[in-house]
Amino acid sequence: MKASILAVATLWCCIGAGMAFADGAPTTNHKRGPAGIAVGESLVAARNKLVKQGWRPTRMHATDGYEYSRAELQLTARKFIEVDSCSSDSSRCILFYAKNGVCLRVDTIGEKLNDMTVTRWAVECPGAPPKPSRAAAE
């Protein structure tokens, strides 16, 4: 019984991962992302590239009462209105941008703004369920 449940779950995951990329949309992490951003690049440099290419920071938590803490406070104090959340244990942050109706999620790691680097990006809107990365699907 357990083996059949595991087999069904594995099949469902494989089919789902394949369908996630069936439309050919760029989902995440080619060598260069939108505006030429790259994994390992500083958040400040990546953000500057995105803004120069017409990507606009998506204001997060303006009206929902969310209380920022730690790295989130550092980012919002520096006018990074696009910060959605940062983990308190691993210093990973999620930020959102938009351009011509397309949403972009940028993930970073680092405890302080000047140390934050891009770890991945995805065509994803705030509140949408996360899509698997290409590396996870392969």
66 vs 6, more confident: 66
Tally of domains in the chain: 1
Is 30 part of a structural domain of the chain?
Answer: yes
Structural domain boundaries enclosing 86: 26-126
Contacts of 83 (CB under 8 A, 6+ apart): 60, 68, 72, 75, 76, 93, 94, 95
Is 94 part of a structural domain of the chain?
Answer: yes
Is 70 part of a structural domain of the chain?
Answer: yes
Predicted pLDDT of residue 29 = 52
Output the six-digit token pair for 92: 């990973």
Is 92 part of a structural domain of the chain?
Answer: yes
Is 81 part of a structural domain of the chain?
Answer: yes
Is 68 part of a structural domain of the chain?
Answer: yes
Predicted pLDDT of residue 51 = 98
Per-residue pLDDT reduced to its tens digit, 58-91: 999 877 878 888 889 899 999 999 999 999 888 8
